[in-house]
Every structure is written in structure tokens, then in C-alpha cells.
């Protein structure tokens, strides 16, 4: 099987190692990974803020880049949701939409992986559901199953499905509210060392807030956590 | 009413930084509402109910003129006066006439968001009438000179102690009075108002076309008193409140109560079909019943094929309760009578997009509201429509337009894009913090570290 990795803007710049972990993980499952070099931005920032023509341009570019891909796999829930949900509204031939998956979703729903390894034995972590992965893609159980089957304890968190306040441009248009929302997440966080999520924006936002407050929590991309699950944390 | 939505950010900031107790009170109240709502729907097929309710409401809205005329005919048959009001000032004129004709000096009011929308209290006061809000929450905020901060719980942003203070000052109750003592004091004062007021004003949760019935949901009994004790009752009903059949009503009463407070049904439901003593109507009740059918922008929304679905709203407040943005501030930040997600999609239609900005952007687009709406209003999609229109009309900031223009230009030129990603890592943090948008990011957050290699570089080197 061959998949094309769509690394996404934040993945390329801020989560490069996590995206590399996604490649390692997929290869370890005998999946051939291709990285179309002329990929750019999926257009989500423009779409969410109402700049439709710009979003359409970026969607068209992306659809062209991944035209030949069997599967497009993204280490980002919200970008995957952009392809799956917004592209059909933006493009005349949105074939790429139905071939696009968030990483954890792809592993469970397409590859039918039930256990990656036992590399997270003894780890206590909390999982943050990105809103678009949860509500637009319906990804809820998949990442949890993968983490737990690798030995991790996903500690219950009453706010695990509540928005962290990132919201793309919302985070800079209403920064005070956005930060207050992050505080609610941080203030209700159970006693864990790590928060895992499939969404880079949420991780940067919560991590940025936690660092400003001097709160010591590690925010980890799902791709890296899953690679640890596979690779024994080595 | 006046609209102050343009100050959203400043108002939100003030509430968050200066009155943390408001944030706490709103957070606790909305979470309680959400928990109760979940329990209330646990024993029924929520999806089937919302699908049915959506269908009935959409049908009523797409046949609105017929159903409104049917309701009017039934009400007129029983001796009610039916008025059609296009604007707030039409409503004011109707009230002015009633106040003059009957020498009204005291008005008792049932809770009505429409009356807030129409700025009714200040108008009645300008006519020389004394107005008493009789819902306890409304009464508290009336004493405080505030507006409701929630569609269902107007005073949810207030603590018990806030009420103790204002009751102590205005009604002379002890500073440490128990909730029972406070309620008793309000009850004594309002009871006298009910008995002496010439005019009672209510809203209307539903108007059944088939029978000409106005249905009112409440928990305190004050609506029943406001609509039956004074000589005259005026019901303000938004034209979107119509239901076709009598058989539709009982399910809507349940769906609304479950969604709003988690109750199986409101403690009191009043159904009013005519003035007292009318043939085939009410054996008792007020001498005169006026029903004012209010447009105030609704037909404009109805005629808008992209946003008309917002008119299905039954004002349950479930979207406010679940909204993580609303929870940080309560309703006052929004500067408009309808706050939270539903306000941000209704307001631009009823009042105008320019006046309502930035409300359609005051959402992280998390989508939680769409999951709880009992009439399936696609709120996130409607927010997106308003965002799109704001951009098309040039109402968003130049900085945002430039940044997105640059992003688009780079994103359709992959070499530039890859290069820009690499370059982002070379800016020292003190510059990054001064860049537009990132400046706002650094309010309360550290900027992300961008100094490592990009994925493109890792890929080119070879990933092992």
C-alpha cells in the first residue's frame, strides 16, 4: 500500500519530528510513504475566516498535488476535516476529499490496526480531541484505542472534548477569550505528564499558554506518541 | 435596544480580567444546564425528536403567511385584538395607544426576550408607566440596571451575594439574607404589583395556528399572574413562533424545556386563546387581549436563502450553554440581546452585519452548538456565511486580508512556500512578537519554537 503524506503547514514548521515519526510509523507497517514536494497549505485559514476565493485556490492546488494519491494521510485532524468537508463545497471534482484521513483514523479505519506495540507501558496521559477531528470526521475512539492498546492509561479528563480556544484566526482575533478557554483546559487537566492530540494548532496554543503560566506539562503530537507505541519509546 | 457588538473584544476582555466571578458564575450555571439537558434526553430518541422538530418548524416558516393569518382569524373570533408590527417603533406606537387609552400607570412583565429586542421597558417608562419585571432573575437585573446575559437565565452571571447586596440596598432585606428570605421579599413586592397593574405584558413561546393559542413556558408562576390578573394583556409574539397544529405543541413544549433546563416540561404552561369571558375562549382572564405579531427584521431573514434556518430557533439557550466561548464571558460581552452562537447568526440578519461585527468571528468554530440544537440549526455553517459576507463587503481588517493574500500567493507557488517555512525559523522571538497577528498571539501565550529543521529538510536528508 502507498500513501501520500500531507505534512500541513504546522506539521512542516513546528512538528517536523512528529511528521517524521508518522513516516517511520507508516513504514514500519509496510506502507510506502510518498511526500509530494509541491504540497503547501490546505487553505483552512482562509476558509475558516470567510476568504473563500483564496481557500478555493489553495484547495485546487492541493487537489492537483494529490491527484494521483491512493490515500492522503495527514497528521492533523482539522486539515483532514478541511479536505473531507470543505473541499466538496469548493471544488468541482473533490475526489481527494474521500481519500483523505487523519493519521490515527487511517491506522484504525483503513489499515485496521488494533495494536501497534507496547511502547507506552506505564505512561499516564490525557487526550485532547480536536473539534474538527471529533465533530467533522467523527474520530473519537480510534486514537484512544491505539494509545491504550500500547499500554498507556488515558486518564479521564472532563474537558477532553471541549474546545481549547485555538480556532485558527480566532486565537488572535479574540486572544483574551481564546486564552481563557485554554485556562479551562489546563485548570481541569488530571495529573498527567503528557497531553496528546492529533491537532498541532491546539497543541501550540495549549503549550504556549502552559509555558506562559509556568505549568509543566508536555504536549505531544499523536504521531509521535504512536511511534513511541510502536517503537518502545526508544 | 441598543447594539454594542462592535466592542465585543474590549467587553470580553473586561469581563475576563476584571470580573472573574462573572466567568465563574456563568461557567457553573451553563455546566449545570448542560448536565441536566443530557439527563433529560437520556430516555428518548433525541435525534428523532430534533429531526421532527426541524421539519415542523421549517414547514411553518415556508408557509408562514398562511399560518399567521389562520392564527389571527382564530384569535379575532374570540375577541382578541391582533396587531401586525413591522418595526420596533410600530410596537411602541401600539403600546402608546394602549397606555393612553387605559391610563396605564403600572405594567407587570413576564420574561420576554422579544421585549428586550424591542427596547420596550425604556419606552413604557418614557410614557410615564412604572414597569415591573416579574421573573425573579429579570427582576434582579432590572434592579441592577442590567440587561439579560442569557436567553433563559437572565441573571446567571450574578452570584447569590450580588442579589443579597442589591436587595439589601433596595428592599431592605438583611445583608446576609437566605435565598428564601430574598425570594419572599421579591414575592411580597411583586404580588402588590400584580394586583395593582393595569397592564400585563408577555412574550409567547409558541403560537398555534390551528387553534389561535399562545403557549407560555415558565417555572415561577409569574407569567400566569402577569397574563391573567391585570385588565389588559399584551402578548408580543415573533412571527417565527408559529406552529401549524395543536398536535405539534406538546412535543415542542417538551423539547424546549428539555433543551433549556433539562426539565421534562416547564413547571407552568399557560395557553391563552382569547380574553376573559370570550365565547369558546377563556372563562376568565383579562378584559382585553392584544396579540402583537412582530417582524422586526424576521421577514428579511426568511427571504435570505442562506440564513433563514436561524428562524427555527425556539430560544432554549442550549447553544449558549454548550458554547466554550460564551462560557468565558456570559452574554454581556456580545452587546446584543441574543448572545452566544444563535445571536451571532440571528443578529446580522435582524439588525445588519456591520452593526454585528465581529460577532460571527467570535467563535472558535468548534461545532458543539450544532450538536445540541433541538431544531438542527446549522449554526457553524451560518456563522461561516456571515464571515464570508463580511469579507466580500470589505468589513474585515486589512492586516488579515494581506496575511491571507500572502499565504495564498505562497501556497500556490510551492517553492516560495517551502522557503517561507524555513525562513520563519530565522526570525528572533523579539521580532516575531511584534508581527501583526503574532502580537495578539503573545497575549497570554509563549510563541512556538520554530528554530529546528522543517519536515521538508528532514525528508530531503532521509528519514530513518
Per-residue pLDDT reduced to its tens digit, B233-286: 999 999 999 999 999 999 999 999 999 999 999 999 999 999 998 776 677 889
So what's the pLDDT on residue B402? Answer: 85
Domain count, chain A: 2
Mind listing the pLDDT tens digit for each residue in A154-198? 999 999 999 999 999 999 999 999 999 999 999 999 999 999 999
- Residues A30 and A52 placed together within one structural domain of the fold: yes
Residue A97: inside a domain: yes
- Mean pLDDT for the stretch of residues A202-214: 97
Domain boundary among A110, A140, A164: A110
- Residues A12 and A103 placed together within one structural domain of the fold: yes
So what's the pLDDT on residue B406? Answer: 87
Q: How far apart are CA A187 and CA A175, in angstroms?
A: 18
- Using a CB-CB cut-off of 8 Å, the residues of chain A touching B8 are 174
B404, B443, B455 member nearest A12 (Cβ): B455
Closest Cα of chain A to B367: distance in Å? Answer: 7
Window from B149-163, B203-217, B345-359, B430-444 with minimum mean pLDDT: B430-444
- Residues A131 and A222 placed together within one structural domain of the fold: yes
Q: Which residue of B17, B448, B452, B462 is the best one to mutate when testing the A interface, meaning the one whose CB has the most A CBs within 10 A?
A: B448
3-state secondary structure of B107: strand
Residue contact A51–B401, C-beta within 8 A: yes
| Short-list B140, B149, B93, CA closest to B116 | B149
Residue A95: inside a domain: yes
Q: What percent of chain A has pLDDT over 90?
A: 99
- Residues A153 and A89 placed together within one structural domain of the fold: no
A39, A50, A181 member nearest B391 (Cβ): A50
User: At A208, which CATH number?
Assistant: 3.40.50
- Residues A227 and A173 placed together within one structural domain of the fold: yes
Helix axes A52-65, B398-411, angle to 10 degrees: 20
Mean pLDDT (chain B, rounded): 94
- Residues A12 and A87 placed together within one structural domain of the fold: yes
Domain boundary among A110, A139, A164: A110
- Residues A130 and A203 placed together within one structural domain of the fold: yes
- Could you give all domains of chain B from N- to C-terminal order, each with its CATH number? 5-298 (3.40.50.10420), 403-461 (no CATH)
Residue B428 has pLDDT above 90, yes or no: no
Residue B121 has pLDDT above 90, yes or no: yes
Mind listing the pLDDT tens digit for each residue in B384-414? 999 999 999 999 988 888 888 888 888 888 7
- Residues A147 and A220 placed together within one structural domain of the fold: yes
So what's the pLDDT on residue B280? Answer: 66
Closest Cα of chain B to A130: distance in Å? Answer: 9
- Residues A72 and A142 placed together within one structural domain of the fold: no
So what's the pLDDT on residue A52? Answer: 97
Residue B1 has pLDDT above 60, yes or no: yes
Residue contact A172–B17, C-beta within 8 A: no
- Using a CB-CB cut-off of 8 Å, the residues of chain B touching A227 are none
Expressed as residue numbers, the domain containing A91 is 2-110
- Residue B35 in grid coordinates: 448536565
Q: Which residue of B445, B446, B453, B463 is the best one to mutate when testing the A interface, meaning the one whose CB has the most A CBs within 10 A?
A: B445
- Using a CB-CB cut-off of 8 Å, the residues of chain A touching B12 are 174, 176-177
Closest Cα of chain B to A178: distance in Å? Answer: 8
- Residues A79 and A139 placed together within one structural domain of the fold: no
- Residues A78 and A133 placed together within one structural domain of the fold: no
Mean pLDDT (chain A, rounded): 96
- Mean pLDDT for the stretch of residues B215-241: 97
Q: Is residue A47 a contact partner of residue A82, using CB atoms and an 8 Å limit?
A: yes
- Mean pLDDT for the stretch of residues B459-464: 94
Residue A118: inside a domain: no
* Interface predicted TM-score of the whole assembly (ipTM), two decimals: 0.96
Residue contact B364–A49, C-beta within 8 A: no
Within 10 angstroms of residue B370's Cβ, the number of other Cβ atoms is 18
pTM: 0.96
For residue A5, the cross-strand partners are: A73
Domain boundary among A110, A135, A158: A110
Q: Which residue of A5, A7, A15, A16 is the best one to mutate when testing the B interface, meaning the one whose CB has the most B CBs within 10 A?
A: A16
So what's the pLDDT on residue A233? Answer: 56
- Residues A65 and A42 placed together within one structural domain of the fold: yes
So what's the pLDDT on residue B281? Answer: 64
Q: What are the Cα distances from residue B312, in Å, to A181, B326, B362, B373, B379?
A: 29, 21, 22, 10, 11
Residue A66: inside a domain: yes
Residue A86: inside a domain: yes
Residue A119: inside a domain: no
Within 10 angstroms of residue B122's Cβ, the number of other Cβ atoms is 11
Residue A161: inside a domain: yes
Residue A86 has pLDDT above 60, yes or no: yes
**Alpha helices in A66-174, H assignment, sequence order:** 77-81, 87-90, 103-105, 131-135, 141-149, 170-173
Residue A117: inside a domain: no
Q: How far apart are CA B114 and CA B118, in angstroms?
A: 6
Q: How many CB pairs under 8 A join A and B?
A: 202
A11, A37, A163 member nearest B364 (Cβ): A163
Amino acid at each position: 500500500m502507498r500513501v501520500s503524506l500531507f505534512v500541513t503547514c504546522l506539521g512542516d514548521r513546528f512538528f517536523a519530528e512528529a511528521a517524521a515519526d508518522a513516516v517511520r510509523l507508516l513504514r514500519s507497517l509496510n506502507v510506502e510513504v510518498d511526500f509530494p514536494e509541491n504540497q503547501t497549505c490546505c487553505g483552512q485559514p482562509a476558509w475558516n475566516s470567510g476568504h473563500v476565493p483564496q481557500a478555493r485556490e489553495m484547495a485546487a492546488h492541493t487537489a492537483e498535488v494529490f491527484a494521483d494519491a491512493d490515500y492522503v494521510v495527514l497528521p492533523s485532524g482539522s486539515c483532514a476535516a478541511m479536505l473531507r468537508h470543505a473541499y466538496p463545497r469548493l471544488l468541482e471534482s473533490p475526489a481527494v476529499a474521500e481519500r483523505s484521513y487523519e493519521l490515527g483514523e487511517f491506522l484504525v479505519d483503513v489499515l485496521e490496526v488494533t495494536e501497534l506495540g507496547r511502547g507506552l507501558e506505564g505512561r499516564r496521559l490525557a487526550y485532547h480531541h480536536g473539534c474538527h477531528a471529533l465533530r467533522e470526521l467523527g474520530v473519537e475512539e480510534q486514537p484512544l484505542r491505539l494509545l491504550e492498546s500500547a499500554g498507556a492509561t488515558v486518564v479521564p479528563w472532563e474537558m477532553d472534548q471541549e474546545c481549547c480556544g485555538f480556532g485558527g484566526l480566532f486565537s488572535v482575533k479574540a486572544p483574551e477569550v481564546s486564552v481563557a478557554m485554554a485556562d479551562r483546559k489546563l485548570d481541569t487537566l488530571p495529573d498527567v505528564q503528557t497531553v496528546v492530540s492529533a491537532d498541532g494548532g491546539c497543541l501550540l496554543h495549549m503549550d504556549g499558554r502552559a509555558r506562559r503560566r509556568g505549568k509543566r506539562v508536555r504536549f505531544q503530537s499523536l504521531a509521535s506518541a504512536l511511534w513511541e507505541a510502536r517503537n518502545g519509546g526508544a | 435596544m441598543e447594539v454594542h457588538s462592535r466592542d465585543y473584544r474590549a467587553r470580553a476582555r473586561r469581563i475576563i480580567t476584571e470580573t472573574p466571578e462573572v466567568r465563574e458564575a456563568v461557567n457553573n450555571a451553563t455546566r449545570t444546564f448542560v448536565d441536566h439537558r443530557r439527563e433529560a434526553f437520556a430516555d428518548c430518541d433525541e435525534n428523532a425528536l430534533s429531526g421532527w422538530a426541524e421539519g415542523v418548524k421549517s414547514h411553518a416558516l415556508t408557509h408562514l403567511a398562511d399560518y399567521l393569518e389562520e392564527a389571527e382569524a382564530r384569535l379575532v373570533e374570540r375577541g382578541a385584538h391582533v396587531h401586525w408590527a413591522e418595526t420596533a417603533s410600530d410596537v411602541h406606537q401600539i403600546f402608546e395607544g394602549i397606555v393612553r387609552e387605559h391610563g396605564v400607570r403600572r405594567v407587570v412583565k413576564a420574561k420576554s426576550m422579544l421585549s428586550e429586542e424591542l427596547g420596550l421597558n425604556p419606552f413604557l417608562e418614557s410614557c410615564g408607566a412604572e414597569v415591573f419585571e416579574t421573573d425573579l432573575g429579570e427582576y434582579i437585573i432590572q434592579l441592577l440596571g442590567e440587561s439579560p446575559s442569557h436567553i433563559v437565565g437572565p441573571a446567571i452571571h450574578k452570584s447569590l451575594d450580588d442579589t443579597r447586596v442589591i436587595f439589601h440596598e433596595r428592599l431592605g432585606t438583611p445583608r446576609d439574607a437566605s435565598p428564601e428570605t430574598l425570594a419572599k421579599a421579591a414575592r411580597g413586592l411583586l404580588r402588590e404589583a400584580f394586583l395593582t397593574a393595569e397592564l400585563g405584558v408577555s412574550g409567547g413561546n409558541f403560537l398555534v395556528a390551528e387553534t389561535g393559542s399562545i403557549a407560555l413556558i415558565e417555572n415561577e408562576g409569574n407569567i400566569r399572574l402577569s397574563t391573567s390578573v391585570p385588565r389588559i394583556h399584551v402578548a408580543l409574539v415573533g412571527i417565527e413562533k408559529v406552529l401549524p397544529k395543536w398536535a405539534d405543541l406538546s412535543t415542542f413544549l417538551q423539547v424546549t424545556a428539555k433543551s433549556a433546563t433539562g426539565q421534562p416540561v416547564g413547571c407552568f404552561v399557560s395557553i391563552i386563546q382569547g380574553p376573559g369571558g370570550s365565547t369558546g375562549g377563556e372563562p376568565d382572564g383579562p378584559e382585553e387581549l392584544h396579540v402583537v405579531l412582530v417582524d422586526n427584521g424576521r421577514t428579511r431573514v426568511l427571504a435570505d436563502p442562506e440564513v433563514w434556518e436561524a428562524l427555527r430557533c425556539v430560544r432554549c439557550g442550549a447553544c449558549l450553554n454548550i458554547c466554550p466561548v460564551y462560557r468565558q464571558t456570559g452574554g454581556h460581552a456580545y452587546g446584543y440581546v441574543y448572545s452566544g452562537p444563535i445571536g451571532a447568526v440571528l443578529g446580522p440578519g435582524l439588525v445588519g452585519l456591520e452593526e454585528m461585527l465581529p460577532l460571527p468571528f467570535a467563535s472558535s468554530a468548534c461545532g458543539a452548538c450544532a450538536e445540541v440544537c433541538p431544531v438542527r440549526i446549522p449554526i457553524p455553517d451560518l456563522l461561516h456565511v456571515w464571515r464570508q459576507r463580511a469579507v466580500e463587503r470589505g468589513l474585515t481588517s486589512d492586516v488579515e486580508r494581506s496575511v491571507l493574500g500572502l499565504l495564498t500567493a505562497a501556497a500556490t507557488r510551492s517553492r516560495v512556500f517551502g522557503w517561507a517555512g524555513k525562513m520563519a525559523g530565522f526570525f528572533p522571538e523579539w521580532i516575531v512578537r511584534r508581527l501583526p497577528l503574532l502580537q495578539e498571539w503573545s497575549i497570554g501565550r509563549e510563541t512556538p519554537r520554530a528554530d529546528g529543521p522543517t519536515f521538508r529538510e528532514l525528508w530531503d536528508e532521509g528519514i530513518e
